[in-house]
Structure 1
């Protein structure tokens, strides 16, 4: 054997041995924004994953192997996210949990498909992800279900002229949400009087608030994270105390209320879970989460725990010759914190959704 061929054979053989090593920890990469505005959803998600891993490890792990979480901050940068997927591959992760926002998911998708790394996102929801068999699995509903529900509610509540603020740092989500909203809203006789992109170079929240109000809308919808939605609500309320405010489901975090204060009172939004559900499974999760992290979980924590349930169950029950991807799509329904969990043939999940309104500093479910 020629020297170069011999070396390549050694390298390949070593790779096979490492890849087949079932004695070490099960490595789960985690990716989300962990610092800066909007990082509350990322931190809640990471905390829920840590809790789920701790619960599995306390029971002896999966086939005696402990779960190891490897967290990384995507910095809300598509380029950073792609590099992190490459890093995860080099570290030999068994799967990735995340990302939180759709724009990062779009950037990661070609890389995880090329490398064959199963990735389970708790929250990404742009319609462009749905209906494809790839390595991205989604727990959440799509913008089609959510945005169209907002459009129907707006018409029902007499908000026929609506202005929308769209977050330029999560364009994949914001644009998908807007398109779905517009289709339903237009069909029902509604009119979008203005559309303003925020978090762009030249548009401050103060400027955006003025532009949103220029067309005298009946309602304003903020398609942004909780922190930016709180800031925008304050700017809008300085100029108009009466216009109805809604926020996309992405904004439904504790930070929205904490930072928005009186400006977000009465704001409506969709949530993928009922915060006050009395069922024992959910209440046990709340208690465990608060005990571990000293604050209540947000929506991304709930969805991440459900994502971990599906991922860890598939890892535990899959046949040795079965791929993790196949194990996930053939997994029977699993009990989640609020509802049964299941992926369809494309790795798409679905969730019940609820409209809530902020009343006295709490998210209260409304009919």
Structure 2
């Protein structure tokens, strides 16, 4: 959709809402959604959007927020911090009640000053850079931090007997990848391991995946760790295997989507990852969600789907409490306790941070399975 068509559509929606309000219909509660919906790695953005659409349909089918329907305003941040920040300004002008998103930490870091300036409660399903945690601000996080996840990876690699590891770092999301690598290195060193070197890629001086693959192999490590999205992790794995290397390949949790397997094929067989949900959960609540998702979108829900649905669950619970008590939304969210998510109870600490249960998996026969 072109910018002009999108603007016309927004104007039409606005006119419709005004018309309904004039007829006595309740005003909608606008919720902004922001994620990368274009380019490499957009699968995680669409998976998040899809789950949010389902959550909005559910809450509206059950009376909305105190009788007011929820209306989504969806924006593509193009995985660019400047664009993300400009959308926060736009959301403020549209009087959104809150924002869900973004997906990656670099965009979240760039958005944060505008989020706090406009005092818009923003719940990110997946932002995890440690530097964004423990802050008294308007950014709430559903995900565990890079420290939590990287430490889990380091312990697992130590238990597998790996002593030396080389790391690839996607500089397009440096806020996340550099934080993740720092936390992993600190923890792995504590277990007696050595990070023999890191290879940055996706920067202005480097194009493609051949050179970083060769640089990683030249470091002569026991295993190779990719801190990148699903698309780039698949491409790096392809280049590593193309050169005949048999090193174990590990990928950070950011890569753990179905696109990794679809793009990587045989090259990602045996790849080790951490996931923030149990894709084989047989509980009635999760199976109902997963089946409805697959029926509607012809795909399995991914980790961003589950985390975004949980983010929406917390937001709608907070909005309902705000409507009942009149307290600011930020305070209402901080007071929520043990709200049931798709797979775990949901809580925010005093800083609006949360944690996820995690599961180590390996790719076998084109599936994520327990190791």
Q: Please give the TM-score of this superposition, normalised by the length of structure 2.
A: 0.92
| Aligned equivalent of 1:339, options 326, 335, 344 | 344
Offset at 1:293? 1.1
Offset at 1:194? 1.7
Runs of 4+ with deviation above 4 angstroms: none
Offset at 1:288? 1.1
Residue in 2 that maps onto 1:76: 79
Distance 2:156 2:179 in 1: 18
8 Å contact from structure 2 (residues 285, 342) kept in 1 = yes
Query: SS where residue 140 of structure 1 aligns?
Result: coil
Deviations 1:93-143 (A, max 9, x none): 000000000000000111000100000000000001111111000000001
Query: SS where residue 148 of structure 1 aligns?
Result: helix
Deviations 1:186-215 (A, max 9, x none): 111111112011111233310000000002
Distance 1:365 1:88 in 2: 41
Offset at 1:299? 0.6
| Aligned equivalent of 2:362, options 342, 357, 365 | 357
Bigger mean CA deviation after superposition, 54-63 or 250-259: 54-63
8 Å contact from structure 2 (residues 26, 69) kept in 1 = no
Deviations 1:235-284 (A, max 9, x none): 00011341000000000000000000000000011001010010111001
Residue in 2 that maps onto 1:294: 298
| Aligned equivalent of 1:328, options 325, 333, 351 | 333
8 Å contact from structure 2 (residues 133, 145) kept in 1 = yes
Matches within 5 A, 1:14-25: 23-25=26-28
Residue in 2 that maps onto 1:132: 135
Offset at 1:292? 1.6
| Aligned equivalent of 2:90, options 87, 109, 126 | 87
| Aligned equivalent of 1:312, options 295, 312, 316 | 316
Offset at 1:290? 1.2
Distance 1:314 1:223 in 2: 34
Distance 1:141 1:230 in 2: 24
Matches within 5 A, 1:217-232: 217-232=221-236
Let me know the Cα RMSD of the aligned residues: 1.4
Residue in 2 that maps onto 1:119: 122
Distance 1:258 1:141 in 2: 26
Aligned length, in residue pairs? 347
Q: Which runs of 5+ in 1 are unaligned?
A: 1-17
Residue in 2 that maps onto 1:249: 253
Distance 1:324 1:365 in 2: 39
8 Å contact from structure 1 (residues 274, 365) kept in 2 = no
Distance 1:62 1:22 in 2: 14
8 Å contact from structure 1 (residues 332, 342) kept in 2 = yes
| Aligned equivalent of 1:169, options 167, 172, 178 | 172
Q: Please give the TM-score of this superposition, normalised by the length of structure 1.
A: 0.93
Bigger mean CA deviation after superposition, 250-259 or 235-244: 235-244
